[in-house]
Amino acid sequence: MSNRGAFIAIEGLDRSGKTTQVATLQARLESEGIPVKLFKFPDRTTAIGIMIDSYLRSQSELDDRAIHLLFSANRWELAGAIEQLLAEGTTVVCDRYAFSGVAFSTAKGLSFEWCRSPEVSLPAPDVTLFLDISPEKARERGGYGDERYEKEEMQRKVRDVFRQISTEFDEARWVTLDAGRRREDVAADVWNCVQPFTSGLASPLQRLWN
Ligand code: Z5A
């Protein structure tokens, strides 16, 4: 039986360069002839994603728990497609995933355990690359945007929760990269982490926090 595709999550703070690195990684994988599909969470194109988008732009108000569950539901509605692609041998790269869900909602004051529960049993990334950046460096990149969570105090709290999450995974599954460096240097580290997965995996896909 042929190997399944690898599941790679790119996580990080606002302005850490996730979108930049995901695009570079996609180009590199394609140039190596490896089938790859990108997902970006939230996926603002679905019915649930449209509600999330409206909330993030402050065009609607929602209870903190309700928006948390919508972010999670947005992942669950695409989980089947992710699993199918992986089974077919496609490498899946996610720009943000369940860890962002837990980090942002916990930073707002909800309990970590409560935030984690709807994410339990989602397909687990084979490796998560966390792009770490200080708020000072992020500010140098043109500052945060206008959306709801794009404020320095919030980003500091989110960074703390990401650190807490990282302690739950061994070094093979969670890699923290200094994203405050040149794009090329970060991309080289991203590739070094992903390259070992490019032949796919014989091991079954794991479930998150099971
Ligand atoms: N959220 C949540 O609450 N719950 C959830 O479950 C999920 C998300 C999934 C939307 O996220 C918000 O939803 C987010 C978390 C919350 N709120 N916040 N904050 P999003 O992914 O749509 O938006 P974002 O994370 O804020 O993306 P971003 O600001 O576009 O950042 P980025 O993708 O990490 O960075 P980038 O676009 O690649 O780069 C930003 C700028 O820096 C750009 O001008 C680049 O050219 C530049 N850049 C990139 N790399 C470098 C380097 N190395 N040096 C210098 N400049 C660089």
| Atom 10 of ligand 1: nearest residue by CA position | 42
Tell whether ligand 1 has an atom less than 6 A from the beta carbon of residue 43: no
Token pair recorded at residue 138: 């992020």
Rounded to 5°, the CA angle 125-129-131 comes to: 145
Tell whether ligand 1 has an atom less than 6 A from the beta carbon of residue 39: no
What pTM was computed for the model?
Answer: 0.97
Rounded distance from Cα 8 to ligand 1 centre (Å): 17
Rounded distance from Cα 50 to ligand 1 centre (Å): 18
Tell whether ligand 1 has an atom less than 6 A from the beta carbon of residue 68: no
Question: Locate tokens 């790119």: which residue?
Answer: 10
| Mutation choice for ligand 1 from 53, 141, 162, 190, CB with most ligand atoms inside 8 A | 141
Tell whether ligand 1 has an atom less than 6 A from the beta carbon of residue 15: yes
Q: Closest by alpha carbon to 98, among 77, 78, 75?
A: 75
pLDDT mean values, one per 10 residues, the chain (210 residues): 94 96 98 98 98 98 98 98 98 98 98 98 98 90 81 94 96 97 98 97 97
Token pair recorded at residue 116: 């984690």
Rounded distance from Cα 133 to ligand 1 centre (Å): 11
The pLDDT value given to residue 192: 98
Q: Closest by alpha carbon to 117, among 93, 134, 101, 131?
A: 101
Rounded distance from Cα 202 to ligand 1 centre (Å): 32
Q: What is the ipTM of this complex?
A: 0.96
The DSSP line for 106-167 is HHTT--HHHHHGGGTTSBPPSEEEEEE--HHHHHHTT---SSTT-SHHHHHHHHHHHHHHHT
Rounded distance from Cα 55 to ligand 1 centre (Å): 17
Tell whether ligand 1 has an atom less than 6 A from the beta carbon of residue 159: no
For 174-205, letters b (16+ CB in 10 Å) and e give: bbbbebbeeeeebbebbbebbeebbebeeeeb
Tell whether ligand 1 has an atom less than 6 A from the beta carbon of residue 132: no
